[in-house]
Structure 1
Amino acid sequence: MSEDKETGGLNRTLLGKLIVVAVLMFGFAYALNPFYRQICEALGINVLTQKDGTVSADTNTQIDTTRSVTIEFDGNAQGPWRFRPVTHSMTVHPGELATVMYEVVNTQNREVSAQAIPSYAPQSAMPHFKKVECFCFKQQTMKPNEARQMPVVFFIDPALPKDVKTITLSYTFFEVGGLDKTASK
C-alpha cells in the first residue's frame, strides 16, 4: 500500500511539473508573435508598413517656391483587384502639401483584406517623402466588388537634395491572409 501512495505522490509531482511546463510553453508561444514583430521591425525585415518619413498633420513646413519636384505615381496589384493612381504625376514645391488618390476595385465575389507597400525611386528620396495620411498605414478590407478611392496626403521635405528633380512613388497592393477557407467551400 505504501508503494501505491509513493507512486501516486510521484505521479502528482510529475503532473504538476508537466502543467507548469505546458503553461510556460503557452506563455512563450503567446509572447512570441509581438516579440518577433518588434525584432523584424527593428531590423527592417519582413515589415508590412515601412517607416518612411510619416508625420502628423500639424507638422509645420516652409514651402520652397524656388524649385519644383515632379512626383510620378505607380500602382501594382498582386491579387484579385484593379489598383491604379487616379493621377499619374504632379509637380509640387518642396514643403507644399499635396494629395493624390489611388483607386482600387475588388473584382472578387468575396471579401478580401489587403495591404499596400510603398517604394521610392530614387531610394535616397525616401526619408524626404513625408506622408500625413495614407491608405498604406493599415490593412484595407474590401467587400465583394467594392470600388474605393484612397488618398495619400504628403509633402516633400525642403531638405531634399537639389539634384533630385523627380521622385517615383510606387505601391504594391497585395492580399493579406490568403483565401478565406469558408469562401472556397
Structure 2
Amino acid sequence: MSLPDPSDLRLAPLAPAHAAALVTWRYPAPYDVYDLADADPADLLDPDAGFHALLAGEELVGFRSYGADGRVPGWDYDGHHPGALDTGGGLRPDLTGRGLGRAAIAAGLAHGRALFAPTAFRVTVAAFNTRALRVLAGLGFERVDGFEAAYDGRPFEVLLRQEV
C-alpha cells in the first residue's frame, strides 16, 4: 500500500471488521509489546474500552484509544495528574516508522479534545520506543515519570501534555 496522506487521517467509531483486524496485527520485536494478540475483538468494541479507528479514506491505518487502555500496570495513575486523559494507539505494522506518527497522534488528540475536553493528555510509552518519544515531545508532551511494568519489568515513560 502507498503511504496515506497525513492530512487525510480521521477517526471514526471502531467497527467489528476493524476490531477483528487489530488483533491480527503483529509488530517486530521489541515493538511486539504493542500487539493486541490476546485481545478479544468484542472487548475492543465495548464503548468503555475507548477504541476508535484511524482511517485514511475508508482504509484502516491505525487506532487511537482513550481511557484505561492507555495505562500500563505498575504506575499509580489515579494518584498523579487526576484530570489527565490517558490515550494510546498504534499504526498498522506496515506503516510504522514511515513518518505518519505525528499526524496520527495529532488526529487522536484533536478527536479526544472534541469528545472529552480533558485538562491534559497522558501517554505511557515503552522506554525503548525513541520514535514515539520524539514525536510526542514534538507535540508538546513532557516526561513526568518512569516506572517498570508490573507484568514483565520493562521500563516505561509517562508523558503529559497540558491542555488548559
State the TM-score, normalizing by the size of structure 1: 0.24
Q: Which has the higher contact order (CA 8 A, sep 6+)?
A: 1
State the TM-score, normalizing by the size of structure 2: 0.26
More helix by share: 2
More strand by share: 1
